[in-house]
Amino acid sequence: SQTIHQWPATLVQPVGSPLSLECTVEGTSNPNLYWYRQAAGRGLQLLFYSVGIGQISSEVPQNLSASRPQDRQFILSSKKLLLSDSGFYLCAWSVTLYNEQFFGPGTRLTVL
């Protein structure tokens, strides 16, 4: 069966510091991978998605970036965090872009 991991689970970072969140998927090959952010009391906002190694599509302009160095690894990064980057970051995977998505446990980021 497929499993999706995210770490760290929680993170508190000062404004202006860098960020690196990691997501890995087990039990499947060539998954589509997604990064979402869920701000407090708000819906899910798609940040990036990837259909393969090195292929990244960005949905919203921001100071975040994503990379996919391996088939089942997806990384979300920032060089300098903003207060507005606080939120619940969720990684998800799907078989194709047109199927249901399955979410990882998430990383709760607080920027102070």
Partner 1 sequence: QKEVEQNSGPLSVPEGAIASLNCTYSDRGSQSFFWYRQYSGKSPELIMSIYSNGDKEDGRFTAQLNKASQYVSLLIRDSQPSDSATYLCALLLTGANNLFFGTGTRLTVIP
Which of residues 31 and 104 has its CB atom nearest to partner 1 in the complex? 104
Assess 70 for contact with partner 1 (CB under 8 A): no
CB of 50 to partner 1, least distance (A): 11
User: Is there a contact between 34 and 48 (Cβ–Cβ < 8 Å)?
Assistant: yes
CB of 80: closest distance to partner 1 in angstroms?
Answer: 27
For residue 83, report the phi and psi dihedrals to the nearest 5 degrees.
Answer: -55, -40
Q: Is 104 in the site for partner 1 (CB under 8 A)?
A: yes
Find all residues with CB under 8 Å of 101, minimum gap 6, and list them. 34, 92, 93, 94
What part of residues 13-52 is at the interface with partner 1 (CB under 8 A)?
34, 42-44, 46, 49
Could you say whether residue 12 binds partner 1 (CB under 8 A)? no
b/e string for 30-66 if b means 16 or more Cβ within 10 A? Answer: ebbbbbbbeeeeeeeebbbbbeeeeebeeeeeeebeb
Q: How far is the CB of 87 from partner 1 (least distance, A)?
A: 13
Per CB under 8 A, residues contacting partner 1 are 34, 42-44, 46, 49, 57, 59, 90, 97-106, 108
